[in-house]
Every structure is written in C-alpha cells, then in structure tokens.
Structure 1
Amino acid sequence: MLDLLFHNVTIPHSSERMDVGVSDGIITYLAETEDEAAIAKEVIEADGNVLLPGFVEPHIHLDKAYLLDQMEQDATNLTEAIQFTSELKKSFTKEDIRERSIKVLEKCIGYGVTHLRCHVEVDPIVGLKGMEVLSDLRETFRDQLQIQLVAFPQEGIFKQPGTADLMEKAMLLGADVVGGIPYNDDDAVEHIDFVFALAAKWNKPIDFHVDFSDDPTQLAIRDIVKRTLAYDYQGRVSVGHLTSLASVPYHEAQLIAEDIAEAGISVMALPATDLFLNGRSDQERVRRGVTPVKLLIEKGVNVSFGTNNIQNPFTPFGTGDPLDIALLLAQVAQLGTKQDAELLLDMATVHAAKAIGLEEYGIALHNQADLILFDTTNLRQILLERPPRQTVWKRGVKQRDNNSDEKMIHVAHGAEI
C-alpha cells in the first residue's frame, strides 16, 4: 500500500493525466490515471491540477540578504555594490547572519523550494562566520530543504591576503562547492587556477560568478572552459551572470556557447541583479544586461535561473519566489510561447537540479517525493497567473498546506511561518 497517491494530476511533458504514488518519501508508482486508483493511506484527488517537482534555487546569497535598512546610500553600479557590501560586512555578527538567512529560507520553503545552493562569503572581513552559521542552518532545515554551501571569495582571493587559507578552512567546515569570482582579482587566470586546484583536491564541484559586465572583452569563461576540459570536470562546473557574452558579436558568441556546451558547463541567468546593474553606461539602445539565454539553449547549454540577491546593494528587490524570476526572465528574454512557459518551469526544476548536481530528483520512479501541487490545470498559467501553491511536500512530508489555516513549517529554532 502506498503512503500517498496523487490521483489525476497534470505533470510536465506528459499529454496524459497521471497518478503519482509515494512510499517512504520516494516516488514508487507512476501511471496514467484510471478510474480505479491504486490503494494508498492518503489519496489526493487533484482533478487535473498541476504537480511539479520542488523548485530548485541554484544561486542565492543568504548571508547578505535584507541589508537595505543598514545602507546609508544606494548603490548605482557593481563597484559600489561590492564596496558598500564590504563595508556592511564589518558589522556582521553570527546572530545577524542567522536571522536574515532564516527569513529567506522560510519564505523559500513556502514558495515550494526544496533544494537551494547558497554562496557564503569567505574573506578576512567576515572570516568564517557565514560558513559556520549556514552549516548549522543546513542541518536545522534539512527536513524542509536541502542546502548546498559554496565557499565564495567575494572580495577576491589574492587581493585579500589570507583568503586562500580561509577557503581551505571553509572546505574543512563542510563546504559543498568551491566558488570563484575571477573579475574581482587582478589576475583572473590565477584566480581560476586556484579554484580548480582546490576543487580537485577536495573532489568538489565548482560555481563561478563570471564576466559580470557589458564589456565584450571580459571573457574569463574561455579560461574556465579550458580548465574544465583539462581537469575532466565536465558536468561539475556552473557559472552565474555571464552577461558580457550578450555584448559579444553574434558569430563569436555562438562559438563560445558551443564551447560551453562541449565542456558541460551550466549557466545560471540572474536577471534581477543583472538588469539592475548592467547597461548603465548606455545612453541609447540600453542593453538588457542578461546572458543570451536563447542562444545558449540553442547551442545545447544547460540554462537555469536564480534569485541571487534579496534586498541588498546588488539588488534592492526580491522575495525568494522562483516564479518572480521566471516571469522577469520570460519578458526580458522574450520567452512568451506555451513551449517557452514549460521551458521556464524546467529551468526552475530539472535544469537547475542538473546545474547543482542533484540525483534522485524529478517526477520519475525511485526519485525523492519533493513536490508542489498548484491550483490550476494549466502549466502555462503557473507562469502567467502564479496560482496558489496548494501544498508542498519534502520527501513525501507536507510542508505547507494553503487549503487550511494550519501552518505546516516548523524548524528547530522554534519559528513558524
């Protein structure tokens, strides 16, 4: 007998209504809907409503979320955003980081996020405070969502003496991913080489912030492609931003996109931040400031999108809802067809899962039952109308039920949402 059965649901990439059964937190039954349903302890009559895998947030910064109230002035470009945040970090405490991070995590869970990759600042300014706090929260929230931690040298590795040693210590503390930001060191290649060497030493995947500008000559992605192939790291490297590629002549951009695809590098579009900070020097024909999503997809690159920042100098917006970013990217990248809507939902789920190396993910047999049931029978309407998420499950356990007044999410620190 199944623990849970979703009877008569619409799922992505299926022309038939389906039944999805769960036992011990795993999807163990998947079949076209028939009048005679499988036997289960609990049956949810979905009436054709859409069932999606839990959302995957592949790129977010928890430790510097919700900083607007601490800012004395607003940032107007990337340099100022980095500078102002660097100053604010001097006053960060563990409790401050914890409170702001929990605020984001609880919102994300309510929105149906079941997996999340977080970039954690590691540098002489903040030390390892963020890594220590978020390592604890990774455990605290493990029944609500799975968190990956990226050791992220925001201030550069060699510009800030001592950062290289802190990156090593972050790995000892349990960082899941080695992060990099080549454009914030004087020698981008030296930075990239350090990241690959550290990742290979610890056998960890890599996630770069790369080529975040309108400058078509800023193409560290080429060196990342070379190192990915040299280290045999295909499928284990992700990059966020990659906005310079949008300013490169089209034929050259095509070739670079083909190289990215060959190296198995995933690209994460971050439109909320990239639109806000890029294109500011343009007086006319202002650039969109977002990586060329359509071109990358056409060339076979795995493309997803992320929230990146929430209400801080880099992005004075954000709620943590992946559908906010999906709708923004749909308009910016001109993804408006029915097929595009389904693609955007894939980008928030299976594409993002691939980017961060998830296994046993998605609506298929033997995968974890991380699921969201929506109040609509139309996949496209999830993007257009953003109907209520009726219920969210993590490994078959209900996290949020919007059909009742009961608030389902409970975490170890005692907070409820």
Structure 2
Amino acid sequence: MLEQIISNVRVMGHHPLKDVGVADGKVVFVENSGAAKEWTANAVVNGEGGVLLPGLVEPHIHLEKAYLLTRMEKEAESLQDAIRMTADMKKIFTRSDMRERSLQVIKEAVRNGVTHMRCHAEVDPILGLSAIESALELKQSVRHLLDLQVVAFPQEGIFKSPGTAELMEEAIHLGCDVVGGITYQDPDLNEHLKFVFELAGKYNKPLDFHADFSDKPEDLAIVQIAKRTMQYGLQGRVSAGHVTSLGSLARVEAEAAAELLSEAGIHIITLPATDLYINGRGDEEKPRRGLTPVKLLQEKGVNVAIGMNNVQNPFTPFGKADPLETAWLLAVTAYLGGERDASRLLGMLTESASRVLALEGYGIREGAPADMVLFRERTERDVLLHKSETRTVWKRGVMVADTRIEREREIVHHMKDRGEDHR
C-alpha cells in the first residue's frame, strides 16, 4: 500500500502526464498517468495537469539578519554602509530574537516550496557563537519541514576582527556543515584564503564564499579561490555568492575566468535582489547592472544557482522568502525571458542548487526522497510568470504546506457585488 499518489502532473524532463507514487518518504515510481492502476494508496492528489517540481533549494540566505527594516535609522547607500549598520544592530540581537525572525523566514520559504536551505550564520566577537547555536538548534527543530545546512560565516572578517579565527574553529566543532569565507573584509586576501581552506581541509568540510561583491573589474578574488580549490583537491566542493565583478570584465577576460571556474568545479550563486540593489551606484553614466554574467558562466560549463540572500534588511530592503520571486527578477534583468529560459531558471532553483548543497538522490525519480512542490500552472514558463501562491509542498512524502488562492472566484464575486458580471 502506497502512502499517496500524485496523479496527472507534468514532471521536468518528461512530456506525457505522470503519476508519482510515494511510500516510506520516498518516490516509488514515476509512470505515465493511468499506467499505475494496480497500485492502491491511502491518498490520491490530482495534480490536474500542473507542474510538479523537486523541492526548491535555497542555497544562500542569512536568517538571523532578516526583517530589520523597522530597526534601521537610515537607508544603506553602499555595501560597507549595510555591513556597518547591521554590525550595530547585531549588538542587541538576542537568541530568542534571532530564532523568531529566522523561523519566520523558514516558514514562509516552506510555504513557497523550499525543502532544502543553506544559511550563513555569523561568527564574530559581536555575536560570538550565538547565531551559530541558534541556527543549529533550528536545524534540528525544523527538520520535518526542511533540511538546513549551516555555514560558519565571518562577516566582519577573520583577522580584521581578532578572536574570529578561534570562533570559526569552535563553530565547526559545534556542528556547522560548511566553512564560510568573505574576500572583501580582511586586508590580506591570501591570509584569509589560507585560513579557510586549511580549516575546511582539516575537518573535511565544503567551502562557501561571499566573493567579489562589487562592480570593479580588478576585484577578482574568485580566480585565487579557483586556483586554491584545485591546489587543495576540492573541485566541486567550493561555492561563491555574488561574484558580480565578473560582470564588469571585458568579454575575453570574463571568458577566461569562467573557463577557470569550470575547470575548478566552482559553484556560483547569483543573488539578484541584493546585487542589483547595491551595485552600480558609483556610475553616473551607463550604470552597470551589477550581476554576475549568468549566461556566459553557463555557456562555459559553470554550475550557477539562484539565491535570495537577504529578506528585508539594509542589504535588501524588500523581498520575501520565495525563490520564484528571485528567479523572476533574474529573468527580467539577465535577459532570460524565453520559454527555454524558464526551464533553465527553474533548473537553477532545483537541480543546480542541489549541486551546491551536494544533495544525494535529489529529484523526482525512483528511490529519491519525496521532496516536491506542486503548482497548478500547466507549463514551466507559467510557473515562473505567474508566481502563483497556490502550491502544495511535501517533505519526505508528508504534506507540509497546501496554499490555495482562489483568485478567479473572488473576482467574480466582486464583479457581481458591483453589478459588473455580464457573462
């Protein structure tokens, strides 16, 4: 007996409608609709021709820094402004405060279809290990909703903030999954890279950087990261968010950098909501978009995923925990408006992001964990264009969210009330 069957759905990479069977938290079969009639299930969900995706993967987010707008005395006018303002606000963060705001983000993300997430929790003399401890506690308490990876992230720099190096190692001992780095805080890049690469090697952890967050073509720490990745034999285990300076390079130079990143197996996470807001401010004429060159990187074989980064704080004073909203923004600003582009963007929220997190068995296929999100739209392009809030989400085969928005019915009733229904 199956736990459930999700019938009549469109699965990425498959043209006929499919039925997906689930038992013991895993996908048992993916068959053409109607072909699995011999199976019985405790529940059947009719997808009505909608798109069924693997659970969305959020590869780069800051939980304890979310929802800070009401605490800001002014708006950030630069990246360093945002860092300074947040550092000041961190001084009054409490464990319960961080947990409450983090949980608000997680719940919204789950409602929107996220089943896996990687968060960057800050390690510094201001917070000590409190953000790390809060994130690790959440990792356990929300595991029935999503799988959470925790990055030990030195936002204030490692050597710029004495004591951070010791805290970073202690954070790994506490159970952090990933070693974080930031290329634009410490004055000596080589010293910073040497420390984080050796820490990752010592504890066999992957690395995840905030790198080259600028529109200055000379900011190319990502090249040094790629070279060290190959030197340490960490191909495929190193990620970098932002990397926006690549978008300011001449084409031939950007191509060479992209080829090196592909060779090193570096994963790039574009963060358009933040990158577009912060970058390009110094250009009085012909302002740059401030994005990493997504199309070029993908052409050269680099794995590129999409991340939300921040939710309503000095770095990103808008947004919500919905990966589709971020993908839609990237579509508009990176010229990804075609039908094939829609599939590419959804792939960046799913398969590409799953590679960043090194998820095993990810996807809608036999034997994979039944982490899925169902949209009622009939095409992948419509999923992206409509960003419908009507979504059903499963985590290991258990329905954890089911949001239905009956907009058409509400509009009809409104028109009737005003005497405008002329059908």
Shared fold (TM-score, shorter chain, > 0.5) = yes
Match of 1:4 in 2: 4
Tell me the alpha carbon deviations over residues 326-346 of structure 1, each in whole angstroms, 9 at most, x when there is no partner. 100000100011000011001
- Does the alignment pair 1:104 with 2:105? yes
1:1-400 alignment to 2 at 5 Å? 1-34=1-34, 37=37, 38-400=39-401
Whether the aligned pair in 2 keeps the contact of 1:241 and 1:269 (CA below 8 Å) is yes
Give me the identity figure in percent: 53
Tell me the alpha carbon deviations over residues 263-283 of structure 1, each in whole angstroms, 9 at most, x when there is no partner. 111000000000000000111
Whether the aligned pair in 1 keeps the contact of 2:111 and 2:402 (CA below 8 Å) is no
Q: How far off its partner does 1:41 sit?
A: 2.1
Whether the aligned pair in 2 keeps the contact of 1:267 and 1:301 (CA below 8 Å) is yes
Whether the aligned pair in 1 keeps the contact of 2:113 and 2:391 (CA below 8 Å) is no
Tell me the alpha carbon deviations over residues 356-376 of structure 1, each in whole angstroms, 9 at most, x when there is no partner. 111121111111001111111
In 2, Cα distance between equivalents of 1:114 and 1:240: 20
Whether the aligned pair in 1 keeps the contact of 2:55 and 2:373 (CA below 8 Å) is yes
Structure 1 runs (4+) greater than 4 angstroms displaced: none
In 2, Cα distance between equivalents of 1:318 and 1:184: 26
In 2, Cα distance between equivalents of 1:327 and 1:242: 20
* Normalised TM-score (structure 2): 0.94
When residues 404 and 295 of structure 1 are mapped into structure 2, their CA distance, relative to the original with a 3 A threshold, is closer
When residues 207 and 39 of structure 1 are mapped into structure 2, their CA distance, relative to the original with a 3 A threshold, is same
Instruction: Kindly provide the amino acid, as one letter, of the partner of residue 55 in structure 2.
Output: G
Instruction: Kindly provide the amino acid, as one letter, of the partner of residue 360 in structure 1.
Output: G
Match of 1:408 in 2: none
In 2, Cα distance between equivalents of 1:386 and 1:230: 42
**Structure with the greater alpha carbon radius of gyration:** 2
What is the root-mean-square deviation in Å for CA atoms of aligned residues? 1.3
Whether the aligned pair in 1 keeps the contact of 2:230 and 2:264 (CA below 8 Å) is yes
Provide structure 2 residue ranges, at least 5 long, that are not aligned to the other structure. 407-423
Whether the aligned pair in 1 keeps the contact of 2:7 and 2:44 (CA below 8 Å) is yes
Q: How far off its partner does 1:348 sit?
A: 0.5
Whether the aligned pair in 2 keeps the contact of 1:372 and 1:389 (CA below 8 Å) is no
Provide structure 1 residue ranges, at least 5 long, that are not aligned to the other structure. 406-417
Structure 2 residue matching 1:184: 3-state secondary structure: coil
Tell me the alpha carbon deviations over residues 224-267 of structure 1, each in whole angstroms, 9 at most, x when there is no partner. 01111011101100000000001111101001101101111100
In 2, Cα distance between equivalents of 1:354 and 1:84: 33
Tell me the alpha carbon deviations over residues 154-186 of structure 1, each in whole angstroms, 9 at most, x when there is no partner. 000000000000000100110000000011110
* Normalised TM-score (structure 1): 0.95
Whether the aligned pair in 1 keeps the contact of 2:390 and 2:404 (CA below 8 Å) is no
Match of 1:415 in 2: none
Whether the aligned pair in 1 keeps the contact of 2:19 and 2:36 (CA below 8 Å) is no
